[in-house]
Structure 1
Amino acid sequence: MTFFPKIVRCEKYTVKECGSYHGYAYYKDQIHIDCQYRCVYCDIKLDECGHEGFALDHFRPQEKFPDLKNDPKNLVVACSKCNRSKSSHWPVDIKLEVTYLDEMGFIDPFEHNRLDFFCVELSGVLVPKRSPSKYLIKLLGLNRPSRVVVRRNRQLQRRIDDLIVSAEAIINEVIQSGEMTESSWRKLESAKVAISGVRQLRQEISNT
């Protein structure tokens, strides 16, 4: 999936011999795997950040939920900007079990399909579909220019991949036919158009 894939936690996190959790930093590698090496808020991938700037984030802030400080089920991966912007924000009453209420709060990426809350335009802009996505876009700056460019380029790259697959299929079909007919030439012409489209899209990416 190009944006906000479904993520799941590992079945069981390692604990100490006494049964308590390790310090939260111990779970860094596993949480990265659980989150598919993506920021759970803006969806940027670790390799799109040059493998820098990712941090463990306490989904429910440890300042407000101290008992969850080392609980790996409360840890997510966030890029540095989203992590700083989120900070200790938690607008919902901590006595409530919900993570958002009405217009404000946070979407638990392991409990909800984030594509139910956000729509990604071809331009790369995130558009709110339902609460609290509008709150999150503003609080975390999810439409900051760097993220819009990344999402737009992903859209372009997906189109490039589709064109390459199409061109390869056409060329293979002509080769397997074993003869060059008028129909074969037309098919090769369409493959040429697809390859030209790839070049154009790559140029668009390089210009961003």
Structure 2
Amino acid sequence: MWKRIPKEKSIPPTIGKYSDWKPLLAVEGYHQCLYCTISESSFGGIRNFHVEHYRPKGIPRFSHLENDYSNLYYACAICNTFKSDDWPDDPDEMLTKACYPDPSKVDYALLFGVDGITGLATGKNLTGIYLSNKLYLNRAQLIIERRSRIAKKRYEELINIIIEQKKVLFNLAKSGNKNALILLENLDQKLSQVEAIFHLKDSTNPYNSNQTKKLTS
């Protein structure tokens, strides 16, 4: 989910100011939030994302970096608002204190892990714990998003297993194996059931009050 942002591959623009460069930062940042990894497609598109000043421009010693492309990243409006001008300490690449590691040098996957069942994000170290709490990375919206990703991954894995089994059974059925034909029919039914269960999410609204309470309890 989290990725290092490869600033060394980007060509800094020579005209305009930081607000003009959001489309470039979106491409550089994989079209997802630097901090919570929610994607444009899940969060209403580029309009709901901000240009993030990694070293906050509101802190006097960083004000000269306001239009420095190397200091700019792509973040969702919520994470960027929570971060604001927060800068507890200069970065520590050992991840042993409250700070914001340089996203062009540190893969934030080193900071966070995600529970494969609940979808909860956890800090792997002191830096990760601090950022997870400061940026509220276990917002209900993000938990739902992660659970959806987990379910999709499991669904794809299961579909691939079923497809491989169908290939084997199809070849056996072609050779006259009647049991293989019966199993193939049963497997087709299972495939339809799996697809129907997975696509229930497309018609389910996850934002009613009871479900939100359960996710945050």
Tell me if the contact between 1:55 and 1:83 (Cα under 8 Å) persists in the aligned partners: yes
In 1, the alpha carbon distance for the partners of 2:95 and 2:159 equals 45
The answer to whether the aligner puts 1:131 opposite 2:131 as a matched pair is: no
* 1:37-76 map, 5 Å: 37-51=31-45, 52-64=47-59, 65-76=62-73
**Alpha-carbon deviations, 1:140-194, whole Å to 9, x = none?**
1110111111111111111122222233333344445534521343354345334
Moved over 6 A (4+): none
Aligned pair partner of 1:88 in 48, 62, 85: 85
Tell me if the contact between 1:103 and 1:131 (Cα under 8 Å) persists in the aligned partners: yes
Tell me if the contact between 1:92 and 1:100 (Cα under 8 Å) persists in the aligned partners: no
Residue 138 of structure 2: aligned partner: 143
The residue type paired with residue 6 of structure 2 is V
Tell me if the contact between 1:13 and 1:72 (Cα under 8 Å) persists in the aligned partners: no
Q: Which moved more, 1:41-50 or 1:66-75?
A: 66-75
In 1, the alpha carbon distance for the partners of 2:110 and 2:12 equals 32
Aligned-residue CA RMSD in angstroms? 2.5
Aligned pair partner of 1:186 in 165, 183, 187: 183
* 1:74-113 map, 5 Å: 74-93=71-90, 98=92, 102-113=96-107
In 2, the alpha carbon distance for the partners of 1:199 and 1:126 equals 28
Give the CA deviation at 1:10: 5.6
Change (3 A) 1:166 1:185: same
Tell me if the contact between 2:79 and 2:135 (Cα under 8 Å) persists in the aligned partners: yes
Residue 114 of structure 1: aligned partner: 108
Q: Which moved more, 1:166-175 or 1:80-89?
A: 166-175
In 2, the alpha carbon distance for the partners of 1:165 and 1:105 equals 42
Give the CA deviation at 1:118: 0.9
Identical amino acids, percent of aligned pairs: 24
Q: State the secondary structure of the residue aligned to 1:78.
A: strand
Aligned pair partner of 2:24 in 14, 21, 30: 30
Structure 1 residues not aligned, in runs of 5+: none
Give the CA deviation at 1:101: 6.6
Tell me if the contact between 2:119 and 2:146 (Cα under 8 Å) persists in the aligned partners: yes
Normalising by structure 1, we get a TM-score of 0.82
Residue 193 of structure 2: aligned partner: 196
Tell me if the contact between 2:32 and 2:75 (Cα under 8 Å) persists in the aligned partners: yes
In 2, the alpha carbon distance for the partners of 1:83 and 1:74 equals 14
Residue 155 of structure 1: aligned partner: 150
In 1, the alpha carbon distance for the partners of 2:194 and 2:44 equals 28
Change (3 A) 1:183 1:15: closer
Tell me the number of residue pairs that the alignment of Structure 1 and Structure 2 aligns. Answer: 199
Q: State the secondary structure of the residue aligned to 1:43.
A: coil
The residue type paired with residue 2 of structure 2 is F
Q: Which moved more, 1:166-175 or 1:59-68?
A: 166-175
In 2, the alpha carbon distance for the partners of 1:45 and 1:15 equals 24
Tell me if the contact between 2:166 and 2:187 (Cα under 8 Å) persists in the aligned partners: no
